[in-house]
Amino acid sequence: MSHQPKLFLGSEFDQGKEDFSLFHILPVPYEESVSYGGGTSRGPAAILDASDQLEAYDGTGFPGEEGFYTHAPVDCQGGQPLVFPRITEAVQRILSYPHPGLKYGGKKHTPETPLQSIFRKIPIVLGGEHSITFPVIQAFANVFGAQNIGVVQFDAHADLHEAYDGNPYSHASVMYRINQDLNIPIYQLGIRALGPDEIFYRTTHGIPGIDGPELGMNNITECRLPEDFPPLVFITFDVDGLDPAIMPSTGTPVPGGIGWYQALGLLNSVAKQRRIIGFDVVELAPIANLHAPDYLAAELTHKLMGIIARSTLSNPDWSTP
Ligand SMILES: [Mn+2]
């Protein structure tokens, strides 16, 4: 690749080998339907910049040893009808590694870790507004089959409007699109801002999860997915699910959000129950000269990589479909 993108944790790890790195970081600086504060198109670059301040050790292990490959950002110019197919194609390409014919310096490379040889690559999508999760999930559905996938959503908002401001591809409609159009089950954590149409949808469709007030007032750090929840889980992490005290850098902050250790506890809990096949971190809208939230988003990304690597290694029966 001629373009040299800014790397995730480039201060500690060189760009990995493209077809063997387990973690494929895909920046998607898409911002079109934002309804309140703007700036989420600068989210991916802020996370990559902040990632240079991370330690290689995530507190338990070294996710970078599985390989980080950071892609050039998806071209987000030209409007939703043009951009969404590009996002789907980029994610699907990652899920299709190793590509025949990919070589490095004319040498054939062999995987260096058990995870690199057994499992599909893990796409890690950095947003950008939450709308992008729909074309991301379309790629996963194309590869794994929609019936095998569930989505666990961390968010302040249910994002279950059929359309928002007349836009069916709004950030406020993304989970409706995934659940209704793709028929993919969802599980919601941290929700605390809901419209009447969303309450109706959740009730009539029996959408499971634990809402913000219950999480916060009872300091819940574990969740139990429904028995019939699909075996493969994608995590969509809208940073406004976190409390604005630790995450003010987002377009629509809502008080009473998830705490840091609570988020890690819930993520660990999900990873113990199902194989996580990818995740996104969306809606970071960096505030100039306020670095802590950007660093938090980078650390969240890194910790989730470690959680996935360890849970997948300790469950060898989670074979690749
Ligand atoms: Mn959202």
pTM of the model: 0.95
CA of 74 from ligand 1 middle (Å) equals 20
Residues 160-171: tens digit of each pLDDT: 999 999 999 999
Average pLDDT, the chain: 92
pLDDT at position 97? 82
CA of 157 from ligand 1 middle (Å) equals 6
Residues 225-271: tens digit of each pLDDT: 999 999 999 999 999 999 999 999 999 999 999 999 999 999 999 99
CA of 281 from ligand 1 middle (Å) equals 10
User: Which class for 166: exposed (0-12), middle (13-18), buried (19 or more C-beta within 10 A)?
Assistant: exposed
Which pLDDT band holds residue 3 (cuts at 50, 70, 90)? low
Complete domains list, the chain, with CATH:
23-95+118-313 (3.40.800.10)
Which residue is listed with tokens 């007349």? 166
CA of 156 from ligand 1 middle (Å) equals 7
Which pLDDT band holds residue 312 (cuts at 50, 70, 90)? confident
What gap in Å lies between CA 86 and CA 135, rounded to an integer?
9
Query: Which whole number is the average pLDDT over 177-203?
Result: 98
CA of 239 from ligand 1 middle (Å) equals 8
Across 17-21, 75-79, 137-141, 199-203, least confident range? 17-21
What gap in Å lies between CA 244 and CA 254, rounded to an integer?
7
Q: How far is CA 94 from CA 18, 106, 140, 167, in A?
A: 9, 22, 10, 29
Which pLDDT band holds residue 102 (cuts at 50, 70, 90)? low
CA of 160 from ligand 1 middle (Å) equals 9
CA of 51 from ligand 1 middle (Å) equals 23
CA of 6 from ligand 1 middle (Å) equals 26
pLDDT of 150 over the 60 cut:
yes
CA of 162 from ligand 1 middle (Å) equals 14
pLDDT of 320 over the 60 cut:
no
pLDDT of 109 over the 70 cut:
no
CA of 272 from ligand 1 middle (Å) equals 24
Which pLDDT band holds residue 135 (cuts at 50, 70, 90)? very high
CA of 221 from ligand 1 middle (Å) equals 21
CA of 297 from ligand 1 middle (Å) equals 15
pLDDT of 1 over the 60 cut:
no
CA of 98 from ligand 1 middle (Å) equals 32
CA of 286 from ligand 1 middle (Å) equals 16
CA of 241 from ligand 1 middle (Å) equals 8
CA of 210 from ligand 1 middle (Å) equals 15
Pairing of strands 149-154, 186-189: parallel
pLDDT at position 33? 74
What's the chain look like in SS3?
CCCCCCCCCCCCCCCCCCCCCCEEEEEECCCCCCCCCCCHHHHHHHHHHHHCCCCCCCCCCCHHHHCEEECCCCCCCCCHHHHHHHHHHHHHHHHCCCCCCCCECCECCCCCCHHHHHCCCEEEEEECCHHHHHHHHHHHHHHHCHHHEEEEEECCECCCCCCECCECCCHHHHHHHHHHHCCCCEEEECCCECCHHHHHHHHHHCCCEECHHHHHHCCCCCCCCCCCCCCEEEEEEEHHHECCCCCCCECCCCCCCECHHHHHHHHHHHHHHCEEEEEEEECECCECCECHHHHHHHHHHHHHHHHHHHHHHCCCCCCCC
CB 186 within 8 A of CB 225: no
CA of 91 from ligand 1 middle (Å) equals 20
CA of 238 from ligand 1 middle (Å) equals 5
pLDDT of 206 over the 60 cut:
yes
